[in-house]
């Protein structure tokens, strides 16, 4: 995990803190999103979690390195009003939409796709947040709400006008009844000025108990590639060359924090107001980005080496047929 101040200099953090970055984390179960943790002293992060118990647990935690950290017990959707949270045995799969039982037959993920309880919750739209929570604009928006992504986006025209970067977990399968799939979200955001820049955390599903590629097990079908099921999609607003300096400065910093140093430089050079903003705050941002690039590169390399070492053991076990597996509920 990235820690605060290990990528960016104190000069960059201090300048960004003059007008702190605002992050909205929709679906904060477990912990607030840490994508911008390296900028934490200059970030106000507001997490939303509709499950009352989980929201209370998150709210009781210390704010950590963040400039500000708030947890609000609301579901964000298309409009204000009462809604129903459909909760399966694995709470991470909770959704405002009913679960699609066909996924159980196809993939066997019953803990994610069978509702075991329903919780009445209070819902708001993104555009309600100014009056209800004093949130006037956002810089980085993370959406991980298991199916109602377009409802959130369609209820936030005013708020989205200020967003620079958006991360949305999207599904390529109808895991919830009537949910929009990744292609619909991509098209909707493209029509409103956001370009898809990356697809990360890709999950491939196959019938249980088949393991992930490239592993094999001692079962009737030892191996298969899986079908793409869901992933995190990253979007960047298309800024015009005459966009306000603070908007470009914020976009540049967010892109750098999540690893897209080259794209950050492209945005900066296309929109000179961003460089001017940084210089007004005493920062040579190109030099700072070069230094951040080196620090981030070393961190990513260490993580990649560690992952390769950890991954060697299951690969060897797979080669010798020693991977354990859970017997399937249905033969096929």
Does the pLDDT at position 3 exceed 50? no
Does the pLDDT at position 332 exceed 60? no
Residues forming beta bridges with residue 44, ordered by sequence position: 22, 68
**Separation between Cα atoms, residue 129 and residue 26, nearest integer Å:** 12
Q: Name residues whose C-beta falls within 8 Å of residue 276's C-beta, 6 or more positions apart in sequence.
A: 245
Does the pLDDT at position 328 exceed 70? no
Q: What pLDDT does residue 70 have?
A: 97
Residue 287 CA to its chain's centroid (Å) = 28
Decide: 143 and 152 in contact? Cβ < 8 Å: yes
Secondary structure of residue 178 in the 3-state scheme: coil
Confidence bin at 329 (pLDDT 50/70/90): very low
159-173 per-position pLDDT tens digit: 999 999 999 999 999
Q: What pLDDT does residue 5 have?
A: 57
**Separation between Cα atoms, residue 279 and residue 217, nearest integer Å:** 58
Confidence bin at 326 (pLDDT 50/70/90): low
Confidence bin at 327 (pLDDT 50/70/90): very low
Q: What is the DSSP string of 75-100?
A: EEESSSEEEEEEEESSGGG-BSS-B-
* Among the ranges given (35-44, 192-201, 308-317), the one the predictor scored with the smallest mean pLDDT: 308-317
82-117 per-position pLDDT tens digit: 999 999 999 999 999 999 999 999 998 899 999 999
Q: What pLDDT does residue 222 have?
A: 86
Does the pLDDT at position 1 exceed 80? no
230-282 per-position pLDDT tens digit: 999 999 999 999 999 999 999 999 999 999 999 999 999 999 999 999 999 99
Q: What pLDDT does residue 2 have?
A: 41
Average pLDDT, rounded, for the chain? 92
**Separation between Cα atoms, residue 155 and residue 132, nearest integer Å:** 15
Q: Name residues whose C-beta falls within 8 Å of residue 184's C-beta, 6 or more positions apart in sequence.
A: 150
Does the pLDDT at position 331 exceed 50? no
Residues forming beta bridges with residue 87, ordered by sequence position: 117
Tokens of 241: 């060359």
Q: What pLDDT does residue 211 have?
A: 83
35-69 per-position pLDDT tens digit: 999 999 999 999 999 999 999 999 999 999 999 99
When comparing pLDDT for 218 and 283, which is higher? 283
Average pLDDT value for residue range 280-289: 97
- Of 114, 203, 97, which is closest to residue 150 (Cα–Cα)? 97
């Amino acid at each position: 995990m990235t820690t605060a101040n290990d990528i960016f200099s104190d000069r960059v953090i201090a300048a960004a803190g003059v007008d702190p970055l605002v992050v909205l984390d929709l679906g904060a179960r477990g912990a607030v999103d840490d994508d911008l943790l390296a900028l934490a002293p200059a970030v106000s992060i507001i997490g939303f979690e509709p499950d009352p118990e989980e929201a209370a647990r998150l709210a009781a935690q210390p704010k950590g390195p963040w400039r500000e950290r708030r947890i609000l017990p609301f579901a964000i959707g298309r409009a204000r009003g009462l809604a129903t949270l459909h909760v399966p045995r694995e709470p991470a799969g909770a959704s405002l939409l009913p679960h699609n039982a066909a996924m159980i037959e196809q993939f066997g993920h019953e803990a994610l796709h069978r509702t075991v309880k329903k919780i009445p919750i209070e819902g708001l739209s993104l555009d309600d947040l100014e009056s209800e929570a004093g949130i006037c604009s956002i810089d980085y928006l993370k959406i991980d709400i298991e199916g109602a992504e377009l409802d959130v986006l369609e209820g936030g025209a005013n708020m989205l006008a200020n967003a620079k970067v958006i991360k949305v977990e999207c599904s390529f399968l109808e895991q919830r009844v009537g949910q929009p799939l990744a292609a619909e979200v991509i098209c909707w955001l493209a029509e409103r000025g956001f370009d898809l820049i990356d697809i990360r955390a890709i999950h491939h599903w196959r019938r249980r108990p088949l393991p992930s590629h490239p592993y094999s097990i001692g079962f009737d079908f030892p191996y298969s590639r899986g079908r793409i099921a869901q992933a995190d999609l990253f979007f960047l607003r298309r800024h015009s060359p005459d966009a306000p300096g603070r908007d470009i400065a914020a976009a540049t910093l967010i892109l750098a924090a999540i690893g897209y140093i080259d794209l950050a430089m492209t945005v900066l050079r296309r929109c000179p107001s961003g460089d001017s903003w940084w210089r007004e705050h005493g920062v040579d941002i190109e030099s700072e980005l070069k230094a951040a690039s080196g620090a981030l590169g070393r961190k990513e390399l260490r993580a990649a080496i560690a992952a390769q070492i950890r991954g060697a053991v299951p690969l060897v076990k797979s080669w010798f047929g020693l991977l354990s597996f859970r017997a399937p509920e249905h033969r096929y």
